Amino acid sequence: STAATTDSYRPALHFTAKDTWLNDPNGLIFHDGVYHLYYQNNPVGNVWGNMSWGHATSTDLLTWTEHPVAIACDENEDIFSGSIVHDRHNTSGFGDGSTAPLVAVYTSAFKPGSLHEGVQAQSLAYSLDGGYSWTKHGGNPVLNRGSAEFRDPKVIWYDGGADSYWVMVAVEATDFQVVLYKSRDLKAWEPLSTFGPANATGGVWECPDLFPLPVDGDPENVKWVLTVNLNPGGPNNGSAGQYFIGDFDGTTFTSASTVTEGLQDPDRLGDYQWLDWGRDYYAAVSFSDAPENRRLMIAWMNNWEYANQIPTTPWRSPMSLAREISLQARDGELCLVQQPAGDWTALAGTESLHLSGTTIDDGVQVLAGAAGTVQRIDVSFTPGGAEEFGLILRGDGTKGTRVGIRPGEGTLLVDRRESGRTDFHDSFPSIDSAPIQATSGSYDLTIFVDRCSAEVFAQDGQVTMTELIFPAETSTSLAVYAVGGTATMNSLQVAQLG
């Protein structure tokens, strides 16, 4: 295939570091009108290593400005994943009288030869200038269990009225356990409870999050959501995130939907609730203090199976789009629903194609006027006799990335075997699938194509699939296809966003 330059892969609407490696989003917080995205970063390379917190900011969640490294590794510790809180009442004492601090809670991964060699423990740093410069706390680590696998603290303020306090969720990664702690000052922590093992337990558990959400927007009916990323062991192999819906009473998280028998059984993976079914949506965590109580998440758009080999240089790995998460009751079951969250108003794009009521014949049809590399595609299909139908993205005629529906099987699939460069890792050229149901007889998809990725939102946001692709620069066509019969494309809108 044609060699694409790395710039033809660099996304327009997703964050990438200018010329370095990144993985997990860290310390997501909305503060003083600005969204802060910190991230696992190698400041001097484009593979994993020298872990530090890089930093970027945005006001629209679509365009980002990179800043100098916020919290750097040193001879004693790597700075692993964690979170940031605005300590409004200066409970930590890091404030200076006029400014309440931002406090970062991160994992110190202690290096060989350091005092705590081999241990992962939780540490603090604080900022008095709104998140641009950081000072490590002299009393680090503040929470040390002597464990080599204790990491990824997410801290929230638990509003228990007169008895309110900080709650930390972190993982004992190889025990498939979320551990909960409480503190009044972010420095002294006492254990509350543990959650797990439950549901998907392939690989290790990483990067948990815990947050309340109203069911169908009803403030009188609030549930708690625990998200847990795991690697490997996702529904289509490698890294992925699962979620549990339940209750949190300030001490214990309980979930009605947990399975604790047969945990390693791959046939069960379809029974669990996944944040995303694609290959490239990992380490998802939510923002602290997002406006209007919105729950906004960003994930790392990559997969540990091949993360260090994806063919981009000098940067490596994008973040996902920011998503707004809500909780809905559908068919008597609670589920998370996701929608792209950025401020798209400035980016309405130009509509290049608008079709309605088109019959899709057996075969592949390239759509004139729909070519592009940065697009929002809204499409609705009704099945005819075809066993499979859908779109082929970033193609050159018949080849490209298939996004299809198999109504008989009830699956949504992304096939990237002919998506462009796939040779950098054996497991990259995959056909991935998710269970999907028709809504009032039709399958409606919203797909964001952004040079090296496709993010599919299906079933009104209940099912999402996020996948990296590395097409040739010249592969820009959009096609529609059906296999073994016909289907109807009720509508298609393509907006060019690039």
Q: Which is nearer to ligand FRU, 24 or 455 (CB)?
A: 24
State whether residue 460 is helix, strand or coil: helix
Q: Provide the mask over 319-358, with x wherever binding to ligand FRU is found by CB under 6 A and - wherever it is not.
A: ----------------------------------------
What is the smallest separation between the CB atom of 23 and ligand FRU, expressed in angstroms?
Answer: 5
306: left (phi over 0), alpha (psi -120 to 50) or beta: alpha
430 binds ligand FRU (CB under 6 A): no
Listed residue (70, 203, 78, 173) closest to 126, CA to CA: 70
Q: Choose, by CB under 6 A, the member of 16, 81, 286, 422 that binds ligand FRU.
A: 81
What is the smallest separation between the CB atom of 227 and ligand FRU, expressed in angstroms?
Answer: 13
| DSSP notation for 251-317 | S-EEETT---SSTT-GGGGGGS-BS--SSS-EEEEE-BS-GGG--EEEEES--TTTGGGSS--S-B-
Residues 6 or more apart whose Cβ sits within 8 Å of residue 256: 245, 246
306 binds ligand FRU (CB under 6 A): no
112: left (phi over 0), alpha (psi -120 to 50) or beta: beta
Q: Which is nearer to ligand FRU, 173 or 480 (CB)?
A: 173
**Could you confirm whether 24 is annotated as catalytic?**
yes
Q: Choose, by CB under 6 A, the member of 23, 177, 430, 459 that binds ligand FRU.
A: 23
What is the smallest separation between the CB atom of 307 and ligand FRU, expressed in angstroms?
Answer: 9
CB-based burial label for 457 (10 Å; 0-12, 13-18, 19+): buried
- Using CA atoms, how far residue 432 sits from 304, 417, 427, in Å, is 16, 10, 11
Q: Choose, by CB under 6 A, the member of 16, 17, 21, 24 that binds ligand FRU.
A: 24
Residues 179-218 that bind ligand FRU (CB under 6 A): 206-207
CB-based burial label for 103 (10 Å; 0-12, 13-18, 19+): buried
What is the smallest separation between the CB atom of 405 and ligand FRU, expressed in angstroms?
Answer: 31
What is the smallest separation between the CB atom of 76 and ligand FRU, expressed in angstroms?
Answer: 16
Q: Which is nearer to ligand FRU, 284 or 463 (CB)?
A: 284
What is the smallest separation between the CB atom of 206 and ligand FRU, expressed in angstroms?
Answer: 4
Q: Which is nearer to ligand FRU, 85 or 204 (CB)?
A: 204
Which candidate in 24, 152, 276, 432 is catalytic? 24
Residues 392-411 that bind ligand FRU (CB under 6 A): none
Interior CA angle at 19 toward 15 and 24, to 5°?
A: 45
CA distance 56 to 370: 33
Tokens at 486, concatenated: 């016909």
40 binds ligand FRU (CB under 6 A): yes
Determine how β-strand 399-406 pairs with β-strand 388-396. antiparallel
Q: Which is nearer to ligand FRU, 210 or 283 (CB)?
A: 283
283 binds ligand FRU (CB under 6 A): yes
Q: Provide the mask over 59-78, with x wherever binding to ligand FRU is found by CB under 6 A and - wherever it is not.
A: --------------------
Residues 111-170 that bind ligand FRU (CB under 6 A): 151-152
CA distance 216 to 326: 8
What is the smallest separation between the CB atom of 57 and ligand FRU, expressed in angstroms?
Answer: 21
State whether residue 2 is helix, strand or coil: coil
Q: Which is nearer to ligand FRU, 141 or 395 (CB)?
A: 141
Q: Which is nearer to ligand FRU, 207 or 322 (CB)?
A: 207
Q: How many positions of this chain bind ligand FRU (CB under 6 A)?
A: 12
What is the smallest separation between the CB atom of 364 and ligand FRU, expressed in angstroms?
Answer: 38
276 binds ligand FRU (CB under 6 A): no
C-alpha dihedral, 44 to 48 to 51 to 54, nearest 10°: 60
CA distance 38 to 57: 8
Q: Which is nearer to ligand FRU, 99 or 174 (CB)?
A: 174
- Using CA atoms, how far residue 375 sits from 7, 117, 338, 394, 463, in Å, is 17, 48, 19, 10, 20
Q: Which residues are marked as active site?
A: 24
Interface residues with ligand FRU (CB under 6 A) are 23-24, 40, 51, 80-81, 107, 151-152, 206-207, 283
